[in-house]
Amino acid sequence: MGYNENDVLLMNITDALPVFQIEEMKKQTKKQETGGVQRYLSETELKNKSGHVIPVEVSSVPLIKAGKTIGVFIIARDIMERKKAEEERKLLEEQLFQAQKMESIGRFAGGIAHDFSNILAVILGYADLLKIKFDDITTSEGQAVDRILKNAKRSKELISQLLGFARRGKYNPVPLAINSLIKDTIEVSENIFEKKIEVKYELNNTSK
């Protein structure tokens, strides 16, 4: 702890204790002096000569002579390395938990994506049939069919991304026309928002 022999001879135990530990130590020492506690073992903190607080394991027993307690023998062991190891283990456990959670989410997303893919296949099939009959996009029917096909294809891309996530990144990245994506997304979602919510967006003119 950095104290030399002369320092220790002039010190009281409370000089090496952080303020918040002093009262607790006095209580435990008093119990041992009166015979209330034969052995005391706990983790606490001590203050070294430079003022830094370090974690220690304290073991103390009363010193008895002729049946009378004449003092308390205290040993404090530095457990800084053990504390670091415990913190590292805790961090690894948290990382493992997060990895397991992400794996579960991936499996869940994969299952949902497969279900949606089956539903979407039916929608795309019927939309293609409707496109044959209503291929003129200047008509309301043609516009509706065109919108169904565009959004169904976009949904197919999203499902591919979900499957890629479920397979831990086994997908092929491709260039993205971000402006088109934003416009399509707003067209699909604008009716979901409440009327009092106004959506504004600005697109980079250099981006397609």
For residue 80, pLDDT over 80 is answered with yes
User: Is 52 found in the same domain as 62?
Assistant: yes
CB 54 within 8 A of CB 68: no
For residue 183, pLDDT over 60 is answered with yes
Among 124, 122, 179, 176, CA closest to 150: 124
Does some domain include residue 205? yes
Burial of 62 (0-12, 13-18, 19+ CB in 10 A): buried
**Higher pLDDT pick, 190 / 124:** 124
For residue 123, pLDDT over 70 is answered with yes
The residue from 78, 93, 124 where one domain ends is: 78
| Domain of residue 59, CATH code | 3.30.450.20
Give the pLDDT score at 91. 92
User: Is 70 found in the same domain as 23?
Assistant: yes
For residue 85, pLDDT over 60 is answered with yes
**What distance lies between CA 140 and its chain's CA centroid?**
49
User: Is 71 found in the same domain as 31?
Assistant: yes
Does some domain include residue 185? yes
Q: How many domains does the chain have?
A: 3
Does some domain include residue 66? yes
Does some domain include residue 163? yes
pLDDT band with cut points at 50, 70 and 90 for residue 92: very high
For residue 113, pLDDT over 60 is answered with yes
pLDDT band with cut points at 50, 70 and 90 for residue 90: very high
Interatomic CA distance for residues 110 and 116, integer angstroms: 10
Among 162, 184, 171, CA closest to 108: 162
For residue 86, pLDDT over 70 is answered with yes
For residue 171, pLDDT over 60 is answered with no
Does some domain include residue 200? yes
Does some domain include residue 85? no
- The number of CA neighbours under 13 Å toward the Cβ of 153 is 9
pLDDT band with cut points at 50, 70 and 90 for residue 206: low
Question: Structural domain of residue 74, as residue ranges?
Answer: 5-78
For residue 190, pLDDT over 80 is answered with no
